[in-house]
Chain A
Amino acid sequence: MSKRVGMEVSIAISEAVKMANVDVVAAYPITPQTHIVEHLSELVAEGELDAEFMPVESEHSAMSASLGSAAAGARTFTATSSQGLALMHELMYMAPGLRLPMVMAVANRAVSPPISIWNDHSDIMAERDTGWIQVFAENGQEAFDLTIQAYRIAEHPDVQLPVAVNLDGFTLSHVVEPILLPDQAEVDKFLPPWKPMLQLDPAKPISMGMFGIPEIYFEAKKATDEALVGSQKAIVAIWDEFEKLFGRKYNPIETYKTEGAETILVTMGSISETAMTAVDQMRDQGIPVGLVRIRLWRPFPDKEFKAAVKGAKKLGVIDRCLTLGSHANPVGQEVRSLLYQEKDRPYVFNFALGIGGRDVTRADFRYIYDQCQTLAAQGQDRCHMVGVME
């Protein structure tokens, strides 16, 4: 039986990591991720979690230690944010390429300059192409569930890839929400101990991270890409199993009131809850608008996304990250590129909002809906930055 507890979402993630019975936590504190690793260090210190807690000297070391830990066959957790994730960047390609499962929570935060500790998705978008499975949580329960699920996904024999669980900094990481905490026995049933397919073992030596000459590098990258794209099958199967055990349904793409919607807004992360309220208000006024939320960002669920927006005339795709120097931002580019070859493709308009912690309100979504109608006549050359002062 699960019990409902009022809990800060960061603490809930730590509890999920504890329930996943990890062997190693290697992390460096950074706002707004701090509470996650702080609580984990307490759990280890108090003997509630039998794990090695490595208080490393930087995020570069955190990821290095995590790689070594996973290579040795230990279930591994790390967490970071913003500049910390950027410092990990060089190593972010390693776990996917070496096929080392691990889980990282990213409390999404803007990247300097100017220095911002507040929320947007700039940090993870710089890691978009590294080969990590990337999911975005909408609320605290989802952040908790995704963390547990992430280990099952990462360690699945057909997957063997790292998973980044994204949660919006402060707007999710620091709020207290009612969280359904499952029993340890239920989690154990869902998440058995990891049996590594390959690990560093002096009795059976292997070399990891070897030289790749031009005659093999391309094939090695293709193999990683195939694993990442192919992981969706296992992800969906694991989410189905999770639903059977815990009663909560997870889909790569979620839809909200999209039936008969001529205009569909596309979001990721916690602003989706505000967007749903905005959609409710507009629907009450008879406006045919719906919402599509991307939960699984990498691998991108092409088929499910196309099905979710089918029949819509206009899409208002919302980014929490700016791709400087481009006509559109990551999610906008993704969607436009995906739909370009469709026969009956909708207009795809791209919007940026909530950058660097700028507040996002229901009125913003109404504004975006209105802009979609105007832009359908005018066209759109560049992304529309909503709420930026001229």
Chain B
Amino acid sequence: MKKIDAMMSWKEVPLGCHVDRPGSTTDFLTGDWRSQRPVLDKEKCIYCGFCWIFCPEGCYQDQGPEAKVFVADLNYCKGCGICAYECPKQAITMVVEEV
């Protein structure tokens, strides 16, 4: 018997393969595509929000006025490095993911 790598039977596929639950794409954790991860030096960070604005995946979260820092959600960060490139204070370093 051939091993089957399917999410569901064809009989269970919703009509037209439509998705009726908005935001369900977050069920898919895409962080494991990453080969490098952003590491923030909080001493250098001025809380400007460039990383948050430029992140193409929207995975930076504002930690609030007290923490005064943005943190990347590594469940979705694909390690593109745009945040590190755009950071005006070079506070973000891309570090190779070790398995």
Q: Which residues of chain A have a CB within 8 Å of any CB of chain B?
A: 97-100, 160, 197-198, 204-208, 210-216, 218-220, 222-223, 226
Contacts and interface: CB of A to CB of B under 8 A. Distances in A.
A220 B6 CA distance: 11
A223 B6 CA distance: 13
Interface string B59-87: 00000000000000000000000000000
A98 B16 contact: yes
Contact of B16 (A198, A215, A226): A198
A198 B25 CA distance: 20
8 contacts: A98-B16, A98-B17, A215-B5, A216-B7, A216-B17, A218-B6, A220-B10, A223-B11
Measured as residues with beta carbon below 8 angstroms from the partner, the interface class of chain B is: 10 to 19
Interface in B39-75: none
A160 B15 contact: yes
Contacts of A99: 15-16
Contact of A198 (B7, B11, B13, B18): B18
Contact of A215 (B7, B17, B18, B20): B7
A220 B15 contact: no
Nearest to A220: B17
Q: Which interface residue of A97, A99, A213 has the most chain B CB atoms within 10 A?
A: A99
Contacts of B7: 213, 215-216, 219
Contacts of B25: 211
B1 interface: no
Contact of B8 (A98, A197, A219, A226): A219
A220 B19 CA distance: 13
A219 B15 contact: no
A218 B10 CA distance: 8
Contact of B13 (A100, A205, A211, A220): A220
Contact of B6 (A98, A205, A206, A219): A219
Given A98-B17, A99-B16, A219-B13, 6 more contacts: A160-B16, A207-B18, A207-B19, A208-B16, A213-B7, A219-B7
B17 A210 contact: yes
Interface of B: 5-11, 13, 15-20, 22, 25
B8 to A, nearest CB: 6
Nearest to A222: B10
A143 B83 CA distance: 61
A100 B16 contact: yes
A361 B18 CA distance: 49
A212 B17 contact: yes
A211 to B, nearest CB: 8
Closest CB pairs A-B (n = 7): A99-B16, A222-B10, A219-B10, A207-B19, A223-B13, A98-B16, A220-B17
A379 B28 CA distance: 57
B13 A216 contact: yes
Contacts of B9: 219
A218 B7 CA distance: 10
Contact of A206 (B5, B8, B18): B18
A267 B22 CA distance: 49
A214 B15 contact: no
A99 to B, nearest CB: 4
A215 B6 contact: yes
B35 to A, nearest CB: 21
A211 B20 CA distance: 14
A197 B16 CA distance: 11
B10 A226 contact: yes
Given A205-B22, A207-B22, A215-B5, A97 B16 contact: yes
B6 A216 contact: yes
A223 B18 contact: no
Contacts of B8: 216, 219
Contacts of A222: 10, 13
Contacts of A214: 5
Contacts of B18: 98, 198, 206-208, 210
Contacts of A205: 20, 22
Q: Which interface residue of A204, A208, A223 has the most chain B CB atoms within 10 A?
A: A223
Nearest to B15: A99
A160 B19 CA distance: 17
Q: Which interface residue of B10, B11, B19 has the most chain A CB atoms within 10 A?
A: B10
B18 to A, nearest CB: 5
A283 B68 CA distance: 93
Contacts of B17: 97-98, 210, 212, 216, 220, 223
Nearest to B13: A223
